[in-house]
């Protein structure tokens, strides 16, 4: 077995696939090396839910045979990846990060797992997550059967949630990419906190079949990876119509940012307050620098504000209403008390008191939110803002403690609340690492119209051509 | 990909399941539950304040199959 230089674990999909095709090493050798690393370092970050070495090696043997016979399937052929433990893998435990579901085994694969297997990618493990993907809400990073997700940049910090293991495993080079899911912030947050690139797809573009449902109308599955390009490659493989997902948009996606409109024809909406008053002070220089870089692309920049709606109460009511129905048995049986986080338990119990009229009112306001964003996107092509206002919180501190933004009330709401707002509107978002504050990563996000992933990725590629924040490695070893 | 439940993966899952849940260091569940119920009530009040035209339908459609 060749001894792999540590840089191999931080290679992009394209770089690894080229080496596999050039037969610099076999897929079995690569898979063994990644499995060793995932099993050795995964527990250090509480990132590993379940190792899948045996099946990974079997898949790797098939890939080696394919490459030997020049059956080249896709750029993902032979690439090791991890999947959030909310995705079912046939015959393997799928615990959803929650003790009451620890012994749960499904007889089928999630659609995205099947699609990636068909592309030749190698699943090396299930990755840890916040229990029930966060449910209505939770207070501590420790809200998981596998403990707090620890950040590879600083283990006293949270890796973000709810796709915690996916975030830290990619950042620490334990997998080349991972699948995460987002109901409201669960891809963008760990990507921002761990310094990796992530894509939240348009609602309905990627099948939810075989994924734990937290909210039927909000859940999305998306890639968390080393670059915008890697996100595009993975999205192409996992997207597409699926009759087994009632929310499927019936659309495919082809990664072709080269055909996106010229930047000079595009307009970026942003608000300076997001990069200044709303941002935590130590993060402002990085955010300013990122904004300045985007200004060099030739797009027109205009100041915009987020449409005014009660996003918090709307998303909270929809999420509680749907999660309360989905987990009714868990709640009524009392098994809910086995969850790790008191706030999560209480939130699920209280979800039983959400009235139908309130859920429907929230869904009616949601229709107006969609309209308002449609109007906003008639003026701009993308929205640019910090992905999160600052760095990862300490694992010991409550998550509902508030940020370190300006003490004075900002003059404008800017684009604050964009995570719940864009999730309510089903909009895609790309998270791009843009620097460091207090030696921890921070990131910006680019949000676009429904199904405008190629525009977002074109911006992402351009930004990552001119910066190297996405290539920075945490001090893992 | 063929995935079978191996002894190794089952052991890993059981081990994880038997790990003690993190200690609850926050307020007792009764207070926590009351806070969560307050949250539901506050959301209800916030939604009630938002005036909306009767013609606006919810952001989903029933589709006959």
Taking one residue from A and the other from B, the number of pairs with CB-CB distance under 8 angstroms is 155
CB A323 within 8 A of CB A345: no
pTM over 0.90: yes
A54:B6 CB<8 A:
yes
Chain A interface includes B65 (CB < 8 A): no
> Which range, of A80-94, A173-187, B51-65, averages the lowest pLDDT?
B51-65
A51:B36 CB<8 A:
no
Q: Angle at which helices B7-18 and A53-68 pack, to 10 degrees?
A: 140
| pLDDT, tens only, A401-434 | 765 555 677 889 999 999 999 999 999 999 999 9
pLDDT category at B8 given cuts 50, 70, 90 is low
**How far is residue A177's CA from residue A332's CA, in Å, rounded to a whole number?**
38
A109:B1 CB<8 A:
yes
Identify the pLDDT of residue A403: 57
Identify the pLDDT of residue A225: 98
Q: Which of A203, A323, A342 to mutate to test the interface with B (most CBs of B within 10 A)?
A: A342
B47:A365 CB<8 A:
yes
| Closest B-chain CA to A92 | B5
Task: Give the DSSP letter string of A115-137.
Answer: HHHHTT-EEEEEE--SGGGG-S-
Q: Which of residues 35-54 of A touch B (CB under 8 A)?
A: 49-54
A313:B42 CB<8 A:
yes
Q: Which two tokens stand for residue A436?
A: 């460091």
Task: Spell out the alpha helix ranges (H) of A185-305.
Answer: 188-194, 228-238, 272-275, 284-295
- Shortest distance, CA B62 to any CA of chain A (angstroms): 11
Residue B28 has pLDDT above 70, yes or no: no
| Closest B-chain CA to A85 | B13
């Amino acid at each position: 077995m060749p001894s792999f230089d540590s840089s191999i674990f931080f290679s992009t999909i394209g770089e690894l696939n080229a080496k596999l095709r050039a037969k610099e090493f076999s897929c079995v050798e690569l898979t063994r090396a990644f499995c060793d690393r995932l099993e050795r370092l995964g527990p250090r970050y509480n990132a590993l839910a379940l190792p899948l070495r045996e099946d990974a090696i079997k898949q790797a043997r098939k890939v080696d045979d394919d490459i030997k016979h020049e059956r080249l399937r896709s750029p993902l052929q032979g690439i090791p990846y991890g999947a959030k433990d909310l995705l079912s893998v046939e015959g393997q435990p799928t615990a959803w990060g929650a003790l009451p579901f620890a012994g749960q085994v499904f007889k089928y694969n999630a659609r995205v797992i099947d699609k990636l297997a068909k592309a030749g990618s190698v699943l090396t493990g299930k990755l840890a997550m916040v229990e029930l993907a966060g449910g209505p809400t939770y207070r501590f990073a420790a809200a998981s059967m596998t403990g707090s997700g620890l950040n590879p940049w600083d283990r006293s910090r949270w890796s973000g949630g709810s796709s915690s293991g996916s975030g830290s495993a990619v950042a620490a080079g334990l997998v080349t990419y991972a699948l995460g899911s987002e109901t409201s912030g669960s891809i963008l947050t760990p990507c921002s906190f761990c310094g990796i690139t992530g894509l939240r797809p348009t609602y309905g573009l990627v099948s939810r079949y075989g994924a734990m449902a937290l909210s039927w109308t909000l859940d999305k599955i998306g890639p968390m990876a080393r670059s915008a390009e890697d996100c595009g490659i993975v999205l192409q493989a996992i997207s597409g119509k699926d009759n087994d997902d009632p929310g499927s948009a019936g659309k495919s996606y082809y990664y072709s940012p080269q055909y996106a409109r010229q930047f000079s024809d595009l307009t970026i909406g942003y608000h300076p307050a997001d990069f200044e008053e709303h941002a935590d002070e130590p993060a402002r220089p990085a955010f300013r620098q990122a904004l300045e870089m985007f200004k060099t692309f030739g797009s027109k920049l205009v100041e915009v504000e987020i449409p005014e709606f009660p996003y918090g109460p709307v998303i909270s009511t929809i999420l509680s209403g749907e999660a309360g129905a989905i987990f009714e048995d868990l709640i009524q049986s009392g098994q809910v008390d086995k969850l790790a986080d008191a706030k999560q338990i209480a939130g699920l119990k209280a979800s039983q008191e959400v009235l139908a009229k309130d859920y429907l009112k929230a869904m009616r306001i949601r229709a107006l939110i969609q309209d308002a964003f449609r109007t906003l996107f008639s003026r701009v092509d993308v929205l640019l803002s910090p992905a999160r206002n600052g760095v990862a919180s300490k694992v010991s501190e409550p998550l509902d403690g508030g940020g370190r933004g300006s003490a004075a009330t900002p003059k404008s709401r800017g684009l604050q609340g964009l995570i719940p707002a864009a999730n309510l509107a089903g909009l895609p978002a790309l998270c791009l690492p843009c620097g460091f504050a207090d030696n921890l990563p921070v990131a910006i996000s680019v949000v676009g119209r429904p199904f405008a992933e190629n525009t977002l990725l074109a911006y992402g590629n351009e930004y990552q051509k001119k910066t190297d924040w996405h290539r920075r490695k945490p001090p893992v070893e | 990909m063929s995935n079978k439940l191996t002894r190794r993966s089952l052991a890993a899952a059981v081990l994880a399941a038997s790990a003690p849940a993190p200690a609850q260091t926050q307020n007792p569940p009764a207070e926590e539950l009351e806070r969560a119920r307050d949250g539901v009530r506050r959301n209800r009040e916030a939604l009630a304040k938002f005036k909306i035209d009767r013609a606006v339908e919810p952001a989903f459609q029933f589709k006959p199959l």
